[in-house]
Chain A
Amino acid sequence: MPSLFWQPLFGAVLLVSLSAMAQSSSSAAEDPLVAVMTAELKHSMENLVTEDGTRPYYLAYTITHSDSVGLAGSLGAVEQNDQRRLRVLDVDVRVGDYALDNTHQIRGAGGRTGRGFDASATAPLENNPLAIRHALWQTTDGAFKSAVERFQRVRTDLKTKVEEEHKAEDFSREKPSVYFEADAALTLNREEWAQRIRNVSRLALKYPLVHESSVMLTGVANNRSMVTSEGSSVKTGRKLLRVIVSAGTKAEDGMDLHQSFIFNASSESGLPGEGQVRQAFQKVLDGVLALRRAPLVEPYTGPAILLNRASGVFFHEIFGHRIEGHRQKDVEEGQTFTKMVGKPILPEFLSVNDDPTTERFANEDLRGFYRFDDEGVPASRVNLVENGVLRTFLLSRSPVPGFARSNGHGRREPGRPVVSRQANLMVHSTNVVPLEKLRDMLVAECRKKGKPYGYLFEDITGGFTSTARGGPQAFKVLPVVVYRVYADGRKDELVRGVDIVGTPLSCFSKIIATGDDPAVFNGSCGAESGWVPVSAVSPSILVEEIEIEKRARSQERPPILPPPIAATN
């Protein structure tokens, strides 16, 4: 059962730029890596043939060069200081034809992407033609043989099983793309950042009740070179940087409590200064202490507000994953929306699009930005829901009945097979009220229902959702900052131990109104094709009824001895 995680916090791995990588050149044709890839691709297409004459009809090489840094510190000391260079090679080879090929689902066989583990490898870090060609050659041979074998199984499966419910071709026809971008390179000064991390993380020495805390910087420059047998040649460079402050402790009853804040940027100049990081860290430290004193919740059903960023996570999780194209043709999926195109699935005042071509929103860099997807298809804005009515899905080059072309949403983490994924999910509303008004509406809703209080969700770390047919079509999101908003006008009260649970279809119908405050949640989303950077933009939403349950909690006691910080202070 695929559970999908949308999580800004864990996941992210840390890598670094030592040296400048490939010498930059001004076009794809001159790029030494692309040139070697193109030559070996041509050689492979000409010579890859089995004894019975089977040849690939499509071959693509992608090499993703990642330079990354990871720095972390706690209590004034650096805990981690890594840099990494990595090149991952992906070979996508197809046997058969566009209508039916080796990637076709074999029902009941698992491994739904139709690609073996041998289609990926690490590639040489240096542009030595022989070494690069050797890596390409070796991986190609294995991937091609697996593809031939799997295509045989696909044909047998079609003959032995019942007719397929949804018929669609296996690979869409697209115009080749040719595009060249100069290398992206990290210019972080690690020593300066290490010192900044020491300076800021030292703040936690004053918080003996906070058992763990960290200040972290991660940065990665991904330079992706892609060539295909259809004539695409695409090279893109992109940087993703983050500063993450977090703190955690245990409540007296054993519950583990965490808070974090993340700064995102797509260039070094967009990173926060030391003062901003300090301020955010202080807020997180104070926040986790406040949580420690907050009362535990009881299960509850009733009205609630999800603040903008929390609402973004909510839409990503509950809506976004269910409109990914590949889920519409996979017989093991729940297919909540497969037959809903042209029908209302959200309140009329809501529209949703996914737009990877937007680089920034309200001065924030969007992590889901890209120009070409991982199949070399140009990114495009997709209007998924217009005035509440479902229009289309997020599509890779794996067509869905009724949708023959990709809309540039085929994505992967290097080393994984491509599937359709979200990029920048944006929620628009025509039923907009100021946030204060939205609160008033929440209170009114509570009174109407005879509830003493409603909930306000300020921050959500992430969540997961199950879309498989075998399990319940349910979701859970994990809020960290939650307030009770009392109907009698008492001050809002911070609470802890809350999870939001529910089923998607019933949830959407209960959105009453939205705020005028769209904001960005930047995160990393994990699914079949690995971790990809994503964003969600949404205003705050008022929901007529939401269900919350008590969070599972650790039964371990807080530490027995006082922390060394307190013991020596």
Chain B
Amino acid sequence: MPTLLLRTLLTGVCAAGMSVALSSEPELDSIFKALNDELQRSMSLRLEDLDAPYFIQCAVDDTTIEQVVAIYGALTRAQPSRSRILYTQVRVGSFDLDNSNFIRGARRSSSDLPLDDDYMALRQVIWRATDSHYKGAVETLTQKRAYLKDRTIEDRPNDFTRANAVTAIQERVHFSFDGQAWEDYARRISAKFAEHRHIQNSETRLTAGVENRYLLNSEGSRLRYGISEALLRITAVVQADDGERLSDQLVYFGVTPAQLPPIDKVFADIQSLADRLARMLHAPVLKDYTGPVLIDGAASPQLFRQLLARGIAGQADAVGSPRRNVGGIDSLESRLGKRILPTTFVVYDDPRPREFQGTSLAGHYLIDDEGVPAQRVDIVTNGKLQGMLMSRAPTKYFSQSNGHGRRSSSEMPRSMVGCLYVESADAKSPEALKKALIKAADDEGLEFGLRISGLRSPDSRDTAGPRSGRGGGGGGGRGAVGDPISVYKVYVADGREELVRGCEFRSLDERNMRRILAAGNVSFVDNNALSSVPSSSVIAPAVLFEEMELARIDRESEKKPIIEAPHARARDR
């Protein structure tokens, strides 16, 4: 079962605190006690003369999720799901060299824990999992030592770094979800699409859940806290006469379902979505373009996520990796100390604030998945790359965690974005930005410049489209960038805007960021929540790129359906 990662509700934890004072000691539950008792015992694990564990961590995600999906007024899915997943980490060897970070390691998966709060039944599963992980760890370390014997690896960083013990035990959170009310909400939203004959397909998906998270390790960290998230995602697809499928989404994030918008607000947004798609349907196709591009609105944080998020995560190459490029092919490590943005820019990650100008941030958390308190990390200062996001796995350049070790499903925690902020000291008003775009186009002798206000996520497939062809372009290179959704020609002559469609970025990567001409004074938030990776947020202003290349999407489009969609047929039945 896929784990959905949820957002923290942890309250009362001091910002950069090492340990957290609690007003009253909450009661310890069976999961906590079982983890604690089995962890104590597990430190005595030993196989003959082989290594004993030097570090054990047990984490549990106790999750309740409701997912409601509707199309055209009917539910296609309405399902609660309940899971308690145990993630075990056993390290043998030493901080310098242990069983982690090795390409051929024995892979152990997570385990399902009983749903009843039954101490003995819980312990039994924890016991079996720890035993299995320990054996795997010993085997892997033996293999890794043998591998290293025959090879020299320059500046191999330590495998693990020390961290202070943290104790924060919060009350467990409980999930309250009025199933009938939210099912009705989803039905009514989905039924709206029956009014829009040009929309071929649509889907309304509401997901909400809470997660009580536990983390105990042999260094003495003891954590229990609850997180909660709600997400409404509405997808609509149209198909142009030439076969191109165009989709767009409305996405609303809230800490609880109650934070989702009232239905009338959603209806109004659907109307504008439908209008936008109708215009897009008849918009001309953009032929090849090279020139200035204003990345505006939601497109800006989406673009920075796609250009930066992977590269700024500090990650040592696993021993035995086939390629030994510095930091792996996606890493920006080799650019440390060098300029990657104009000098007016700063980039930092700070997961601690829960909101940005009234918008809840999905990437908010106070303690990471290795028990390390979240910290602000200055990544780019004066345009230069200075820092990286770090977990407890050191790299050649950074030896300490800065509280960004996060776990996706059953993987070991890795460094990942929490809340990434892009800011510029030289911020222009939206009007001034548009003028700058026009000027830049004019300087190039172009008839128009481009403004892009939405991107598809690079790995997204049109959830509502039956077959969506290729999933996003980007022309290869480092971490592909999703196709632009809303693209406008902005004419030099009179500033008039014209919607166009059918294009993708060509050879776009983080090197383009060096040639940003201007930034806006309004920031936009991109929340990524309830997916298979840890939730995160990117906050960035509109930016004007001196030059980008866009090309006609060269894909085989499927013909339009032979029969008209039921809601588009003449109402003679």
Binding site for B on A (CB under 8 A): 39-40, 43-44, 47-50, 73-82, 84-85, 87, 118, 121-128, 130-135, 137-142, 144-145, 198, 205, 211-212, 556-557, 559-561, 563-565, 567-568
Interchain residue pairs A-B with the least CB separation, the first 6: A77-B121, A131-B74, A77-B118, A124-B74, A128-B74, A77-B116
Cβ–Cβ < 8 Å partners of B77 in chain A: 122, 125
Cβ–Cβ < 8 Å partners of B132 in chain A: 556
Question: B124 touching A44 by the CB < 8 A rule?
Answer: no
| 30 A–B contacts, CB within 8 A, in A order | A39-B573, A43-B563, A48-B562, A49-B562, A73-B116, A75-B121, A77-B116, A78-B116, A79-B115, A79-B116, A80-B115, A81-B115, A82-B82, A84-B79, A125-B74, A125-B75, A125-B76, A130-B73, A130-B566, A131-B70, A131-B74, A134-B565, A135-B71, A139-B466, A557-B135, A559-B131, A561-B41, A563-B124, A565-B120, A568-B120
Checking A76, A82, A122, A145 against B118 with a beta-carbon cut-off of 8 angstroms, the contacting residue is: A76
Q: Is B310 in the interface zone, CB < 8 Å from A?
A: no
Question: A128 touching B115 by the CB < 8 A rule?
Answer: no
Interface hub of B38, B72, B467 (most chain A Cβ within 10 A): B72
Contact with A along B56-77 (1 / 0, CB 8 A): 0000000000000011111111
Q: From residue A296, how far is it (CB to closest CB) to chain B in Å?
A: 22
Contact with A along B366-391 (1 / 0, CB 8 A): 00000000000000000000000000
| Smallest CB gap from A123: residue in B | B76
Question: B567 touching A130 by the CB < 8 A rule?
Answer: yes
**Beyond the given A73-B114, A134-B201, A561-B42, could you list 20 further A-B residue pairs with CB under 8 A, ordered by the A residue number?**
A75-B124, A77-B115, A78-B114, A79-B114, A80-B115, A82-B81, A121-B466, A130-B73, A131-B71, A131-B73, A134-B72, A134-B565, A134-B566, A144-B562, A145-B559, A559-B128, A560-B46, A561-B44, A564-B120, A568-B120
Contact with A along B124-145 (1 / 0, CB 8 A): 1001100110110000000000
Question: B566 touching A74 by the CB < 8 A rule?
Answer: no
Cβ–Cβ < 8 Å partners of A118 in chain B: 466-467
Q: From residue A138, how far is it (CB to closest CB) to chain B in Å?
A: 6
Interface residues of B in 549-570 (CB under 8 A from A): 558-559, 561-563, 565-567
Cβ–Cβ < 8 Å partners of A138 in chain B: 201, 466, 561, 565
Cβ–Cβ < 8 Å partners of A563 in chain B: 124, 127
Question: A560 touching B45 by the CB < 8 A rule?
Answer: yes
Q: A82-B81, A130-B566 are in contact. Are A564 and B127 (CB under 8 A)?
A: yes
A49 to B46 Cα, complex, angstroms: 71
Interface hub of A73, A78, A131, A563 (most chain B Cβ within 10 A): A131
Cβ–Cβ < 8 Å partners of A84 in chain B: 79
Q: From residue B469, how far is it (CB to closest CB) to chain A in Å?
A: 13
Q: Is B122 in the interface zone, CB < 8 Å from A?
A: yes
| Smallest CB gap from B117: residue in A | A77
Q: A78-B116, A137-B561, A561-B45 are in contact. Are A211 and B73 (CB under 8 A)?
A: no
A81 to B567 Cα, complex, angstroms: 38
Q: Is B305 in the interface zone, CB < 8 Å from A?
A: no
Q: Is B112 in the interface zone, CB < 8 Å from A?
A: yes
Cβ–Cβ < 8 Å partners of A82 in chain B: 81-82
Q: Is B194 in the interface zone, CB < 8 Å from A?
A: yes
Checking A48, A126, A137, A557 against B74 with a beta-carbon cut-off of 8 angstroms, the contacting residue is: A126
Interface residues of B in 91-119 (CB under 8 A from A): 112-116, 118
Cβ–Cβ < 8 Å partners of A85 in chain B: 78-79
Q: From residue B169, how far is it (CB to closest CB) to chain A in Å?
A: 23
Question: B128 touching A48 by the CB < 8 A rule?
Answer: no
Checking A50, A80, A124, A212 against B76 with a beta-carbon cut-off of 8 angstroms, the contacting residue is: A124
Cβ–Cβ < 8 Å partners of A137 in chain B: 561, 563, 565-566
Q: A47-B563, A131-B74 are in contact. Are A142 and B116 (CB under 8 A)?
A: no
Question: B123 touching A142 by the CB < 8 A rule?
Answer: no
Cβ–Cβ < 8 Å partners of A134 in chain B: 71-72, 201, 565-567
Question: B127 touching A76 by the CB < 8 A rule?
Answer: no
| Smallest CB gap from B69: residue in A | A122
A77 to B115 Cα, complex, angstroms: 7
Cβ–Cβ < 8 Å partners of A81 in chain B: 82, 115
Q: From residue A72, how far is it (CB to closest CB) to chain B in Å?
A: 9
A47 to B563 Cα, complex, angstroms: 6
Q: Is B146 in the interface zone, CB < 8 Å from A?
A: no
Checking B37, B112, B115, B131 against A560 with a beta-carbon cut-off of 8 angstroms, the contacting residue is: B131
Q: Is B47 in the interface zone, CB < 8 Å from A?
A: yes
Checking A122, A128, A142, A212 against B128 with a beta-carbon cut-off of 8 angstroms, the contacting residue is: A212
Q: From residue A306, how far is it (CB to closest CB) to chain B in Å?
A: 34
A192 to B70 Cα, complex, angstroms: 32
Interface hub of B79, B116, B128 (most chain A Cβ within 10 A): B116
Cβ–Cβ < 8 Å partners of B82 in chain A: 81-82
Q: From residue A103, how far is it (CB to closest CB) to chain B in Å?
A: 20
Question: B72 touching A131 by the CB < 8 A rule?
Answer: yes
Checking A47, A80, A212, A565 against B562 with a beta-carbon cut-off of 8 angstroms, the contacting residue is: A47
Q: A74-B114, A122-B76, A130-B194 are in contact. Are A559 and B562 (CB under 8 A)?
A: no
A563 to B78 Cα, complex, angstroms: 39
Q: A76-B118, A77-B116 are in contact. Are A142 and B573 (CB under 8 A)?
A: no
Cβ–Cβ < 8 Å partners of A74 in chain B: 114, 121, 124
Question: B467 touching A142 by the CB < 8 A rule?
Answer: yes
Question: A128 touching B72 by the CB < 8 A rule?
Answer: yes
Q: From residue B391, how far is it (CB to closest CB) to chain A in Å?
A: 29
Cβ–Cβ < 8 Å partners of A561 in chain B: 41-42, 44-45, 127, 131
Q: From residue B373, how far is it (CB to closest CB) to chain A in Å?
A: 32
Q: A85-B78, A561-B41, A561-B127 are in contact. Are A48 and B563 (CB under 8 A)?
A: yes
Interface residues of B in 446-466 (CB under 8 A from A): 466
Question: B74 touching A142 by the CB < 8 A rule?
Answer: no
Question: B72 touching A565 by the CB < 8 A rule?
Answer: no
Q: From residue A351, how far is it (CB to closest CB) to chain B in Å?
A: 47
Q: From residue B561, how far is it (CB to closest CB) to chain A in Å?
A: 4
Question: B71 touching A124 by the CB < 8 A rule?
Answer: yes
Interface residues of B in 351-370 (CB under 8 A from A): none
Cβ–Cβ < 8 Å partners of B563 in chain A: 43-44, 47-48, 137, 140-141
Question: B122 touching A77 by the CB < 8 A rule?
Answer: yes
Interface residues of B in 19-55 (CB under 8 A from A): 37-38, 41-42, 44-47
A78 to B115 Cα, complex, angstroms: 6
Cβ–Cβ < 8 Å partners of A124 in chain B: 71-72, 74-76
Cβ–Cβ < 8 Å partners of B44 in chain A: 561
Interface hub of B37, B76, B123 (most chain A Cβ within 10 A): B76
A279 to B79 Cα, complex, angstroms: 35
Question: B128 touching A211 by the CB < 8 A rule?
Answer: yes
Cβ–Cβ < 8 Å partners of B467 in chain A: 118, 142
Question: B566 touching A564 by the CB < 8 A rule?
Answer: no
A80 to B82 Cα, complex, angstroms: 8
Q: From residue A437, how far is it (CB to closest CB) to chain B in Å?
A: 46
